[in-house]
């Protein structure tokens, strides 16, 4: 059902459709649990290279990259500064119109693809969903080796947001991958053979996952993890790059205060948590994305995530800042000792992580040359911080912000908007839990002093769970999200507000932008609006271009001075990953990985239209490879089994669905591109519903049993709710078709 593309004029129908659509975007996270395995057959190495002769990346080589090898992309953010700026100039404002596809590599996955490729000595290294790792000939796409770490498919249930991998690290002849199930693995970069493997997790009982890219420097590999929604305690660990031996570990939130502090910073942090039993819930503060090494100060900066639960009343009812949630923390790279910290959102109450990419730069601020770091975390403020001492230099808003009025530059603290406190009544707030900017990569052009990045306005109706209003009652629920926010009631309230045409409703539910942002003045030199939020990462280049893929499937190049779009190609699936550029034998290439879950609530983005298609697509001037249009998915909702539930049971099914199922299968039962849309279930799937949900029939595809959190009666109510939602959308579809028939007979 493609709602937006059909002519709609009946107000009642429009109301139904908008209600459904707007509910759909309320889902907080990209859909995730897979229903099909990400199969990629083991392939024998094409040319077994001599062990140790490839991937010889080290600190000295990265330091000289811009002068010695501008055509390389040696680490996650290209170099240690993680500016993601390619100095290459062959593809430029004049030549870009000749850009065409040089080669394509199919990744054979329906899952979100978010990784940054690394290119060293003509070899491209990438990670794909379930941590399938590839070395490819960067000029031809020919596979050199493929490594499958055999992540158990049911691990998908532990992952809040998909079986994602954002990348890997190359260091001194080894490729380091960190798997969804928490392992750090060193591979021989030449042939993909495993050298060592260690478990990075402190508990198998808690749902930790790793989606971020490890970083390598100073003889060590640095890695964190995710899982805050499920109730875990965040930490970062440094391991010896040669042996995998643990060197240091920094916890981001305090543990049980009755036990000894693991390190002095925990004693300091514990004073900022008051009341409650956060250590039983976990506390959160996961470091699931940004870990940046700074050779200037031998420091590692980590971006720390949100609290568990999101609501501070449930987490720390006595108040307090809850260190080090939503903070940037500077650690000594050799010892893990803290040098300084800056907390972006003290006492986080909104899922405002500060895990977003951190980039380093040297720039003049107020007449003084500074070594700075920059970050645009979820909370909507863009921070410029002196990395020598943590001094806050700038904190301009980069998107619409309603939770706070501004950041007080004297205290360095945001000033919360008391009108938007949602303790006593629900409030629409910007940004929402998706953030005004998320993990999607930014790029900095040092010659212009501009940061290019995507932002979005995606509001959310925050509402405390009724059962959690009494703060003493919050108990961690194993195997489910622990937010303190009531999703089902938020959805229902939206419908009520919509029916009443309430003034509370936001004017837009998902708007996306690409910005050329001046971090010093806080102004956009230019900004363009996309048709929806949640678009891809960004790369600027020496050719005066900014590249970005979007949710509509377009990969585009813009003039970096004006924002004028100079080139665009449709890739037939949504894009969230960041582009990279590199050179092999004198030819410049631009590469992007494609595929994600689809986000447009109107079901009209490329992920919905064509599904999620995992690929590496590599462009060059004069490239002539043709990408055939993907067939559009058949979204016709079939006839449904009979309804047998009472109204009361349907209401309960609604609550259970939005508490348990929606994070993968979509709010209001409208899924994105990769995950099955349950309104489209076949007769066989309906018949097997209990076997799948309770019996775990499809656990090998990632859809593990939910018998630990749902009873058979619960499953019946959810099933009936799905059927009722499918029937509603089926009726809407029919009305649209009748409307079209009427219009064509009139015209
Ligand atoms: Ca989160």
What separation in Å is there between the alpha carbon of 139 and the centre of ligand 1?
Answer: 38
What separation in Å is there between the alpha carbon of 350 and the centre of ligand 1?
Answer: 9
Across the strands, what pairs with 455? 513
- 56 CB-near residues (< 8 Å, 6+ apart): 120, 121, 172, 173
Q: What is the per-residue pLDDT for 443?
A: 98
Using H for helix, E for strand and C for coil, what is the string for 674-705? Answer: CCCCHHHCCHHHHHCHHHHHCCCCCHHHCCCC
Q: What is the per-residue pLDDT for 44?
A: 36
- Give tens-digit pLDDT for 698-714: 999 889 999 999 999 99
Residue 408 designated active-site: no
What separation in Å is there between the alpha carbon of 445 and the centre of ligand 1?
Answer: 30
Q: Distance between CA 223 and CA 371 in Å, rounded? A: 24
Q: Distance between CA 373 and CA 370 in Å, rounded? A: 10
pLDDT greater at residue 38 or residue 604: 604
Task: Say yes or no to pLDDT of 563 above 60.
Answer: yes
What separation in Å is there between the alpha carbon of 527 and the centre of ligand 1?
Answer: 27
Task: Say yes or no to pLDDT of 744 above 90.
Answer: no
Task: Say yes or no to pLDDT of 17 above 50.
Answer: no
Q: What is the per-residue pLDDT for 409?
A: 98
- Specify the DSSP class assigned to residue 156: G
Q: What is the per-residue pLDDT for 475?
A: 86
Query: Going along 489-628, which residue ranges are E strands?
Result: 511-517, 524-530, 538-541, 545-549, 554-559, 565-570, 580-584, 587-594, 615-621
Q: What is the per-residue pLDDT for 505?
A: 84
Which among 294, 351, 445, 659 is annotated as catalytic?
Answer: 351
Task: Say yes or no to pLDDT of 25 above 50.
Answer: no
Q: What is the per-residue pLDDT for 6?
A: 28
What separation in Å is there between the alpha carbon of 309 and the centre of ligand 1?
Answer: 9
Task: Say yes or no to pLDDT of 200 above 70.
Answer: yes
- Give tens-digit pLDDT for 109-123: 999 999 999 999 999
Q: Distance between CA 682 and CA 215 in Å, rounded? A: 44
Question: CA nearest 490: which of 652, 659, 669?
Answer: 659
Q: What is the per-residue pLDDT for 74?
A: 98
Position 510 confidence tier, pLDDT thresholds 50, 70, 90: confident
Helix (H, G, I), strand (E, B) or coil at 603: coil
What separation in Å is there between the alpha carbon of 675 and the centre of ligand 1?
Answer: 20
Task: Say yes or no to pLDDT of 245 above 90.
Answer: yes
Q: What is the per-residue pLDDT for 18?
A: 38
What separation in Å is there between the alpha carbon of 532 and the centre of ligand 1?
Answer: 21
Average pLDDT, the chain: 90
What separation in Å is there between the alpha carbon of 490 and the centre of ligand 1?
Answer: 18
Question: CA nearest 543: which of 87, 197, 74?
Answer: 87
What separation in Å is there between the alpha carbon of 216 and the centre of ligand 1?
Answer: 25
Structure tokens at 67: 């002068």
Q: What is the per-residue pLDDT for 161?
A: 86
pLDDT greater at residue 213 or residue 3: 213
Decide: residue 104, CB within 10 A, 0-12 exposed, 13-18 middle, 19+ buried: middle
What separation in Å is there between the alpha carbon of 306 and the centre of ligand 1?
Answer: 6
Task: Say yes or no to pLDDT of 13 above 70.
Answer: no
What separation in Å is there between the alpha carbon of 351 and the centre of ligand 1?
Answer: 5
Q: What is the per-residue pLDDT for 509?
A: 82
- Cβ atoms 304, 277 nearer than 8 A: no
What is the average per-residue pLDDT within 171-185? 98
Task: Say yes or no to pLDDT of 640 above 60.
Answer: yes
Question: CA nearest 290: which of 330, 249, 244, 345?
Answer: 330
Q: Distance between CA 137 and CA 48 in Å, rounded? A: 13
What is the average per-residue pLDDT within 652-660? 92
Task: Say yes or no to pLDDT of 38 above 80.
Answer: no
Q: Distance between CA 396 and CA 596 in Å, rounded? A: 31
Task: Say yes or no to pLDDT of 19 above 70.
Answer: no
Question: How do 123-127 and 118-120 pair as beta strands?
Answer: antiparallel
What separation in Å is there between the alpha carbon of 270 and the centre of ligand 1?
Answer: 21
Q: Distance between CA 646 and CA 640 in Å, rounded? A: 17
What is the average per-residue pLDDT within 80-85? 98
Query: Going along 262-308, which residue ranges are E strands?
Result: 291-294, 299-303
What separation in Å is there between the alpha carbon of 355 and the centre of ligand 1?
Answer: 10
- Cβ atoms 563, 577 nearer than 8 A: no
Write the DSSP assignment of 492-526 as a string of letters.
HHHHHHHHTT-TTS-S-S-EEEEEEE-TTT--EEE
**Orientation of helix 647-656 relative to helix 712-746, angle to 10°:** 100
Question: CA nearest 353: which of 228, 477, 247?
Answer: 228
pLDDT greater at residue 533 or residue 43: 533
Q: What is the per-residue pLDDT for 504?
A: 84
Residue bearing tokens 């057959």: 41
Task: Say yes or no to pLDDT of 320 above 90.
Answer: yes
What separation in Å is there between the alpha carbon of 451 and the centre of ligand 1?
Answer: 25
Q: Distance between CA 660 and CA 157 in Å, rounded? A: 11
Task: Say yes or no to pLDDT of 15 above 50.
Answer: no
Q: Distance between CA 584 and CA 119 in Å, rounded? A: 9
Structure tokens at 407: 């950041």
Helix (H, G, I), strand (E, B) or coil at 566: strand
Q: What is the per-residue pLDDT for 686?
A: 96
Q: What is the per-residue pLDDT for 599?
A: 64
Q: What is the per-residue pLDDT for 442?
A: 98
Q: What is the per-residue pLDDT for 466?
A: 72
Q: How far apart are the first and last CA of the chain?
A: 24
- 677 CB-near residues (< 8 Å, 6+ apart): 635, 665, 666, 669, 670, 671
Task: Say yes or no to pLDDT of 12 above 50.
Answer: no
- Cβ atoms 326, 375 nearer than 8 A: no
Task: Say yes or no to pLDDT of 471 above 60.
Answer: no
**Orientation of helix 647-656 relative to helix 487-499, angle to 10°:** 120
Position 602 confidence tier, pLDDT thresholds 50, 70, 90: low
Across the strands, what pairs with 414? 407
What separation in Å is there between the alpha carbon of 1 and the centre of ligand 1?
Answer: 31
Structure tokens at 693: 């949900």
Residue bearing tokens 């070899």: 123
Q: What is the per-residue pLDDT for 91?
A: 98
Question: How do 194-199 and 215-217 pair as beta strands?
Answer: unpaired
- Give tens-digit pLDDT for 122-132: 999 999 999 99
Q: What is the per-residue pLDDT for 467?
A: 67
What separation in Å is there between the alpha carbon of 357 and the centre of ligand 1?
Answer: 15
What is the average per-residue pLDDT within 671-677? 81
Task: Say yes or no to pLDDT of 30 above 60.
Answer: no
Using H for helix, E for strand and C for coil, what is the string for 321-369? Answer: CCCCCCEEEEEECCCCCEEEEEECCCCCCCCCCCCCCEEEEEEEECCEE
Q: What is the per-residue pLDDT for 37?
A: 32
- 436 CB-near residues (< 8 Å, 6+ apart): 376, 378, 379, 380, 398, 399, 400, 401, 430, 455, 456, 457
What percentage of the chain exceeds 90 in pLDDT? 76
- Cβ atoms 39, 702 nearer than 8 A: no
What separation in Å is there between the alpha carbon of 229 and the centre of ligand 1?
Answer: 6
Write b or e for each residue in 360-386: b if 16 or more Cβ atoms lie within 10 A of its Cβ, otherwise e.
Answer: bbebeeeeeebebbbbbbbbbbbbbbb
Position 365 confidence tier, pLDDT thresholds 50, 70, 90: very high
What percentage of the chain exceeds 70 in pLDDT? 91
Task: Say yes or no to pLDDT of 307 above 60.
Answer: yes
What separation in Å is there between the alpha carbon of 31 and the centre of ligand 1?
Answer: 14
What separation in Å is there between the alpha carbon of 739 and the centre of ligand 1?
Answer: 42
What separation in Å is there between the alpha carbon of 208 and the centre of ligand 1?
Answer: 13
Position 249 confidence tier, pLDDT thresholds 50, 70, 90: very high
Task: Say yes or no to pLDDT of 728 above 50.
Answer: yes
Secondary structure element (H or E) that encloses residue 740, with its range: helix 712-746
What separation in Å is there between the alpha carbon of 424 and the centre of ligand 1?
Answer: 23
Position 141 confidence tier, pLDDT thresholds 50, 70, 90: very high
- Cβ atoms 342, 383 nearer than 8 A: yes
Position 469 confidence tier, pLDDT thresholds 50, 70, 90: low
Helix (H, G, I), strand (E, B) or coil at 641: coil
- Residue 223 CA neighbour count, 13 Å, CB half: 33
**Orientation of helix 11-25 relative to helix 712-746, angle to 10°:** 140
Most confidently modeled range among 49-53, 439-443, 505-509, 602-606: 439-443
Q: Where are the domains of the chain?
A: 634-746
Q: Which CATH number fits domain 634-746: 1.10.760.10, 3.40.640.10, 1.10.260.40, 1.10.540.10?
A: 1.10.760.10
Task: Say yes or no to pLDDT of 88 above 70.
Answer: yes
- Give tens-digit pLDDT for 626-635: 999 888 888 8
């Amino acid at each position: 059902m493609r709602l937006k593309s059909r002519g709609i004029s009946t107000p009642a129908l429009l109301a139904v459709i908008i209600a459904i659509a707007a509910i759909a975007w309320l889902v907080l996270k990209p859909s995730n649990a897979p229903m099909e395995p990400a199969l990629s057959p083991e392939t024998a190495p094409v040319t077994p290279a001599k062990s140790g002769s490839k991937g010889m990346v080290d600190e000295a080589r990265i330091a000289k990259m811009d002068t010695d090898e501008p055509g390389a992309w040696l680490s996650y953010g290209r170099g240690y500064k993680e500016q993601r700026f390619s100095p290459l100039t062959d593809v430029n404002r004049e030549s870009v119109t000749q850009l065409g596809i040089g080669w394509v590599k199919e990744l054979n996955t329906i899952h979100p693809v978010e990784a940054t490729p690394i290119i060293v000595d003509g070899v491209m290294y990438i990670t794909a969903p379930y941590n399938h790792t590839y070395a490819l000939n960067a000029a031809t796409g020919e596979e050199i080796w493929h490594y499958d770490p055999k992540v158990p498919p049911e691990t998908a249930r532990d992952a809040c947001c998909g079986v994602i991998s954002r990348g890997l690290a190359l260091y001194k002849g080894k490729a380091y991958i960190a798997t969804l199930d928490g392992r750090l693995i060193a591979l021989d970069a030449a042939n993909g053979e495993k050298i060592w493997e260690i478990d990075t997790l402190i508990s198998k009982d808690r749902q930790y996952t790793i989606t971020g890219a490890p970083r390598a420097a100073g003889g060590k590999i640095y890695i964190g993890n995710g899982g805050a929604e499920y109730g875990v305690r965040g930490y970062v660990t440094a391991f010896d790059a040669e042996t995998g031996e643990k060197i240091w570990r920094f916890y981001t939130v305090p543990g049980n205060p009755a036990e000894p502090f693991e390190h002095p910073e925990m004693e300091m942090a514990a004073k900022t948590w008051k009341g409650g039993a956060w250590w039983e819930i976990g506390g959160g503060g996961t470091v699931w994305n940004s870990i940046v090494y700074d050779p200037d100060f031998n420091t590692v900066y980590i971006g720390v995530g949100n609290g568990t639960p999101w609501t501070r009343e449930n987490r720390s009812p006595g108040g307090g800042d809850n260190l080090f949630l939503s903070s940037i923390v500077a650690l000594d790279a050799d010892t893990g000792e803290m040098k300084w910290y800056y907390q972006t959102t003290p006492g986080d109450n909104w899922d405002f992580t500060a895990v977003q990419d951190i980039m380093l730069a040297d720039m003049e601020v107020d007449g003084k040359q500074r070594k700075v770091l920059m970050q645009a975390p979820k909370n909507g403020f863009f921070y410029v911080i002196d990395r020598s001492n943590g001094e806050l230099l700038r904190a301009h808003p980069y998107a619409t912000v309603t939770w706070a009025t501004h950041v007080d530059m004297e205290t360095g603290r945001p000033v919360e908007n008391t009108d938007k406190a949602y303790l006593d009544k629900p409030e629409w707030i910007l940004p929402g839990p998706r953030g005004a900017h998320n993990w999607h990569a930014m790029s900095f052009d040092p010659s212009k002093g501009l940061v290019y990045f995507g932002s979005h306005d995606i509001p959310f109706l925050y509402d405390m769970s009724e059962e959690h209003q009494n703060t003493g009652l919050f108990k961690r629920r194993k195997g489910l999200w622990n937010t303190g926010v009531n999703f089902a009631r938020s959805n229902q309230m939206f419908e009520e507000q919509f029916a009443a045409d309430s003034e509370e409703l936001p004017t837009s539910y998902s708007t996306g932008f690409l910005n050329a942002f001046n971090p010093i003045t806080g102004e956009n030199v230019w900004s363009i609006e996309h048709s929806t939020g949640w678009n891809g990462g960004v790369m600027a280049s020496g050719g005066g271009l900014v590249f970005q893929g979007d949710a509509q499937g377009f990969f585009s190049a813009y003039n970096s001075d004006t924002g004028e779009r100079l080139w665009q190609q449709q890739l037939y699936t949504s894009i969230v990953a960041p582009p990279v550029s590199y050179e092999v034998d004198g030819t410049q290439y631009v590469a992007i990985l494609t595929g994600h879950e689809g986000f447009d609530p109107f079901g009209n983005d490329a992920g919905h239209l064509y599904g999620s298609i995992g690929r590496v697509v590599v462009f060059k001037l004069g490239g002539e490879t043709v990408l055939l249009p993907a067939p559009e998915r058949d979204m016709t909702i079939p006839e449904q089994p009979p309804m047998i539930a009472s109204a009361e049971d349907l209401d309960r099914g609604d609550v259970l669905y939005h508490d348990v199922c929606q994070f993968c299968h979509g709010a209001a039962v409208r899924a994105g591109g990769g995950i099955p849309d349950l309104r489209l279930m076949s007769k066989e799937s309906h018949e097997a519903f209990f076997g799948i949900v309770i019996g775990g029939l499809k656990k090998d595809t990632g859809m593990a049993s939910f018998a630990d959190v749902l009873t058979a009666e619960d499953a019946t109510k959810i099933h009936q709710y799905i059927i009722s939602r499918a029937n509603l959308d089926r009726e809407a579809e029919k009305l649209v078709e009748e409307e079209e028939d009427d219009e064509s007979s009139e015209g």
